[in-house]
Amino acid sequence: MNFLVLFNVALLLLIVAFLYYLNSKHVKFSTRVFIGLGLGILLGLGLQFGYGTGSEALNATMPWYNIVGNGYVKLLQMIAMPLVFISILAAFTKVTVGKNFGKAAAIILTVLIGTTAVAAGIGIVTTVAFDLDATQIIQGDAEIARGEMMTERSAEVASMPDQILTMFPANPFSDLTGARATSTIGVVIFAAFLGFSYLTLRRKEEETAANVKKGVDALYGLIMGVVRIVLRLTPYGVLALMARTVATSDFGAIMDLGKFVIASYVALIAMFLLHLLIVSLTGLNPLTYVKKTAEVLLFAFTSRSSAGALPLNIQTQTKRLGIPDGIANFAGSFGLSIGQNGCAGVYPAMLAVMIAPTVGINPLTPSFLVSLILIVAISSFGVAGVGGGATFAAIIVLSAMDLPIALAGVLISVEPLIDMGRTALNVSGSMVSGIVSSRATNELDTKIYNESAENAPLVQ
């Protein structure tokens, strides 16, 4: 390790020590998260302007920063599957899943898919308003290579019936390792089967059911203890993730594709405002929603991982929004692979409208628009909640619309920047589905929702 790399790592460790000092002084968790974000941006800018994109010192520094940033994301992913499994099973043993189970699940799926269709419409309108056209973008070697990769991956895309079939857990123990893009849904289904089995057992063999409940409750307490330990690391993870993102961003490419970046964020913000409108239509204060979800949305933004944000997502729904455990876990889990508003809604629709003119198709004809929105909504099943989910969604939509997939590679240089906003919108969509579902089934605890976020800390 040369001196410059050692110096860069020492800077990160110094800031980590400062954040730890704030923790020892009992500074609020949310305040420390935002301080970590701000210091991460400043550190990233310093590294970017001090060394330049692609410099040897910067390339040698980032793997060390990834130990903190990516290490934190991996720890969250480590607890995501066990958390989903035990939380849903515990919802049955605690009788928080009752006669409204089917209705709640149906509402969650309807909101997720419906908002994705609306997100596609917003993406279309924004693309037309900004007059975006794929032919206007110059392709370099990286873009061409990305286009070829997407073309190759298109051969791996399964049909819609096959995509739905992949959600069923042939091997739940494999799904607990996150082996498939739809592993989370597989774990949800397996846990639900065990839950219904418990309810049957409780009617027939009360003593055995009581022993099962004790075991589930004990395991639930153990897993939640791990969740709390990992969540305490959030300020440090956000710091390192943000520093890496800013330090490695290609600002030249961002300037060249600035019009597309701006249009993308206009669409994403418009969709987030629609989320707030939906929350207000349920009779709840949308500003309260913003305040209480700020930390999880911030983490989703910096990490670009809906799966990594799942523990924070579920904790936010149950502790701050007043959503029951069962509904929160279903909403968070289904939101990982179904109806992602940003990755499966806004992004593929914008690409399709941009690419259509390159092959002589008018994207403003009613038949094209209706087909595109329907395909986006239906194809939102099975989109992975990790990096690359948007690429997978784009391949499905462009293939179904008979549009050239290779042209989607023109945006590779600004993908990380846009993906941050897309991921935050995905997570927001899953939480909104939880609010709507629990409100419709009269299970939302409005007292918890309306109380101050300071009275409901995510980490204690």
Give me the half-sphere count of Cα atoms (radius 13 Å) on the Cβ side of residue 79. 25
Residues 154, 395: contact at Cβ < 8 Å? yes
95-103, Cβ contacts within 8 angstroms, sequence gap of 24 or more: 96/324, 96/325, 96/326, 97/195, 97/326, 100/441, 100/443, 101/326, 103/440, 103/441
Backbone angles phi, psi at 2, to 5 degrees: -80, 175
For the entire predicted model, the pTM comes to 0.81
pLDDT reported for residue 438 = 93
Report d(CA 172, CA 183) in Å as an integer: 8
CA distances from 183 to 82, 173, 386, 396, 422 (A): 12, 10, 12, 19, 21
The residue among 323, 383, 370 whose CA lies nearest residue 158 is: 383
- For residue range 82-93, list pLDDT tens digits in order: 888 888 888 788
Which pLDDT score, from 0 to 100, does residue 305 have?
A: 81
pLDDT for position 143: 46
- The residues near 235 (Cβ < 8 Å, ≥ 6 apart) are 19, 23, 29, 32, 33, 35, 36
Closest CA to 302 of 19, 41, 89, 115: 41
Q: What is the 3-state secondary structure (H, E, C) of 274-335?
A: HHHHHHHHCCCCHHHHHHHHHHHHHHHHHHCCCCCCHHHHHHHHHHCCCCCHHHHHHHHHHH
Q: Closest by alpha carbon to 241, among 301, 192, 282?
A: 301
Residue-wise pLDDT tens digits, 271-299:
999 999 999 999 999 999 999 999 899 98
Task: Give dist(CA 435, CA 21) in Å, integer.
Answer: 36
The DSSP string of 228-267 is HHHHTTHHHHHHHHHHHHHHH--HHHHHHTHHHHHHHHHH
The segments of the chain whose pLDDT lies below 70 read 1, 95-99, 135-160, 163, 181, 252-256, 382-389, 406-413, 453-460
Task: State the pLDDT at residue 397.
Answer: 84
CA distance 350 to 132: 9
Residues whose CB falls within 8 Å of the CB of residue 367, separated by 6 or more in sequence, listed in order: none
Residue 415 to residues 54, 143, 258, 365: CA-CA distances in angstroms?
Answer: 17, 11, 12, 28
